Amino acid sequence: MLRLRLQARARPSTRMQFAAPLLAVGGTALVAFAVLAASGHPPLGGFYALFLAPFGSASGWSDVLVKAAPLALIGAGLVVAYRARVWNIGAQGQYVIGAVLGSSLIVYHPDATSAWLLPAMVLLGAVGGAAYGAIPALLNTRFNANEILTSLMLDYVALYLLRYLTFGPWRDPHSYGFPGSISFPDAASLPIIWPQTQFDLGALCAFFAAPLVWLLLRGSLFGFQVRVSASAPAARYAGFSRGRTVWQAFLLSGACAGLAGILQVAGPIDQLRPNIYSDIGFAAIIVAYLGQLNPLGVLPAALLVGLFYVGADNAQITMGLPVALTQLLQGVLLFTLLAANVLVRYRLRRVPA
In angstroms, the CA 254 to CA 92 distance is 9
What per-residue confidence (pLDDT) applies to 352? 75
pLDDT of residue 144: 95
What is the pLDDT at residue 68?
97
For residue 236, what pLDDT is reported?
Answer: 62
User: Digits of tens for pLDDT over the chain (353 positions)?
Assistant: 567 787 888 888 888 888 999 899 899 989 888 988 888 888 888 889 888 999 988 899 999 999 999 999 999 999 999 999 999 999 999 999 999 999 999 999 999 989 999 999 999 999 999 999 999 999 999 999 999 999 999 999 999 999 999 999 999 998 888 999 999 999 999 999 999 899 999 999 999 999 999 999 998 989 988 888 766 665 666 677 889 999 999 999 999 999 999 999 999 989 999 988 778 999 999 999 999 999 999 999 999 999 989 998 888 888 888 877 778 888 888 889 888 888 888 888 877 76
Residue 281 within a domain: yes
3-state SS, 202-241, equals HHHHHHCHHHHHHHHHHHCHHHHHHHHHCCHHHHHHHCCC
- pLDDT confidence of residue 338: 87
What pLDDT, on the 0 to 100 scale, is given for residue 231?
Answer: 64
**Domain-located, residue 330:** no
pLDDT at 351: 74
218 within domain boundaries: yes
Q: Give the residue numbers spanning the domain of 208.
A: 68-292
Whole-number Å distance between alpha carbons of 192 and 199:
6
**How far, in Å, CA of 192 to CA of 224, rounded?**
38
CA distances from 98 to 34, 107, 250, 253, 289 (A): 39, 14, 14, 12, 23
Total tally of structural domains belonging to the chain: 1
